[in-house]
Amino acid sequence: SRPSRACRMLLCSLLGILLLWLPSSRADGSENVKEVTAPNPTLQEGTCVYKTLIFNATIPVPGKCQLLECDYKNKKIKIKECKEPPHHCNRTDPSAPFPKCCATTCHGKSNPYCMTPTGIPLLEGTSQKLGNPCVQYTCKGGKLSTENC
């Protein structure tokens, strides 16, 4: 016989909780990168000027975990930099070359789940609609909130 839906949900939730507790590492850092466009770019005769740097290709920013890309054709300077790491993560090697300097090591959150009144664990940052009448449970910051649906 197959396990009930509630049992399968409980098993999946427990597996998710276990995975949150295990430390994880993002080795190359590339998924932790964002790209922004420099405001009011200075472009001169096929080159870009950003602060004290003059360049016409993609260059690393000395002393920072950033890359600058001169997109003269589209009149833009693109800045590639690290995304803000989640509160339970730390930069692995901030002095490494870009994008490895964006790599993070994450450790389990202190409150990775909330428990619904019916005993179903709900992972941090998720919502689920349960019951009759319908109630939407949301787990945020280790606290369970409810809302009628």
What pLDDT shows up at residue 15?
47
Domain with 135 in it: 111-149
Please list the alpha-helical segments (H only) found in the chain: 5-21
Residue 36 and residue 102 in one domain: yes
Residue-wise burial string across 76-87, b where 16 or more C-beta atoms lie within 10 A, e elsewhere: ebbbbbbeebee
Q: What is the CATH number of the domain that holds 123?
A: 2.10.70
Averaged confidence pLDDT in the chain? 82
Instruction: Read off the pLDDT of each residue in 73-90 and give the average, rounded to a whole number.
Output: 90
| Global pTM value | 0.55
Residue 71 has pLDDT above 80, yes or no: yes
d(CA 54, CA 42): 10
Contact 120, 126 (CB under 8 A): no
Residue 136, in any domain of the structure: yes
How confident is the model over 83-93, as pLDDT tens digits? 998 777 889 99
Of 83, 84, 101, which is closest to residue 92 (Cα–Cα)?
A: 101
Do 74 and 40 share a domain, yes or no? Answer: yes
Residue 97 in domain:
yes
How confident is the model over 44-59, as a mean pLDDT? 95
Per-residue pLDDT, 28:
60
117 & 99 share domain: no
The number of folded domains in the chain is 2
Whether residue 18 has pLDDT greater than 60: no
Residues 124 and 67 reside in one and the same domain: no
Put residue 101 in one of left, alpha, beta given phi > 0 → left and psi -120 to 50 → alpha: alpha
Domain annotation covers residue 13: no
Domain assignment present for residue 9? The answer is no
Q: Is residue 51 part of a domain?
A: yes
Query: Residue 56: is its pLDDT beyond 80?
Result: yes
Pairing of strands 135-140, 127-130: antiparallel
Q: What average pLDDT does this structure show over 97-116?
A: 82
